Amino acid sequence: MNKLIPYFERFALVAMEKRQKLLRLADDQFLELDLDEGVARFSPSLVLPVQVLGTESDNSFTWLWAWAEEQTEMPERLIRSSREMQRWLEQQDLRELAAPSLDLDRADGTLLSCIATEVCRASAFYRDSYEGGALFLLLMSDQIDRQPGFTLAELAGSLLDLGSRYPFDHRSALAAYLRSRGRSLEERTDALQAQLATGEQLSVEFNADGSVRSINGAPVA
């Protein structure tokens, strides 16, 4: 996992913002996956093109890339992004992560999907749980792209949620997100300030290890 962390820090919050945009459209709606048509149907008015990235197994605790799936016959046109990730990992000299399957303690579906969302220029990723595991999809749609970005509460929540699950530098990830969104930063040794696109002010203090100490004056446990 450590070799992927610099990419995760660069891409994760942007990917989570895109996921939030999807939730604005599809929250609480049931997904019907149509592999013949290559679409995810959330409602009659929300039918989105998909790419299948891979699956997590709760039994073997492994990730399997969609291009390596042998039990389910997957149309080649639906695994182009999975193959793109295979090539990208090889180009980054991360060939061991381009193997057909990976132990989840090396890289799980959410971490890989956050990176793949940006590498493959997707509108969002989606985790579809089923008995024994989960399927990870990349979705492509202007409907998602047009949705508003993070509010302050959503950005803070995503940062802290990811920080509770993965070992990365919170400051680096937050700064990368803000710069990607064209926001001006005021930085000190242990703090960062910016104005979000919503107009909300963000002020974050960090511990020496880069983890969040407080957000807008509120301590983080």
Q: What angle do CA 127, 133, 139 make, to 5 degrees?
A: 20
168 and 70 inside one domain:
no
11 and 101 inside one domain:
yes
211 and 179 inside one domain:
yes
Rg (CA), the chain: 18
* Contact by Cβ (8 Å): 50, 32: no
46 and 104 inside one domain:
yes
Q: What is the pLDDT of residue 117?
A: 98
- From 127, 145, 163, give the residue that closes a domain: 145
- Give the burial class of 121: count Cβ atoms within 10 A of its Cβ; 0-12 exposed, 13-18 middle, 19 or more buried: exposed
Q: Average pLDDT by consecutive 10-residue portion of the chain (221 residues)?
A: 91 98 85 90 92 96 95 89 98 96 96 98 95 95 96 98 96 98 94 97 97 96 76
Q: What is the pLDDT of residue 173?
A: 98
168 and 137 inside one domain:
no
96 and 121 inside one domain:
yes
- The stretches of 92-169 forming alpha helices (DSSP H) are 109-119, 142-145, 152-165
14 and 60 inside one domain:
yes
138 and 182 inside one domain:
no
157 and 83 inside one domain:
no
Q: What is the pLDDT of residue 70?
A: 83
- From 101, 119, 145, give the residue that closes a domain: 145
The parent domain of residue 61 ranges over: 2-145
Q: What is the pLDDT of residue 74?
A: 84
Q: What is the pLDDT of residue 20?
A: 97
- From 129, 145, 161, give the residue that closes a domain: 145
CA distance readout (Å), 127 to 75, 99, 146: 20, 21, 21
Residues 6+ apart with CB under 8 A from 93: none
Q: What is the pLDDT of residue 31?
A: 81
92 and 177 inside one domain:
no
Number of domains in the chain: 2
94 and 201 inside one domain:
no
159 and 65 inside one domain:
no
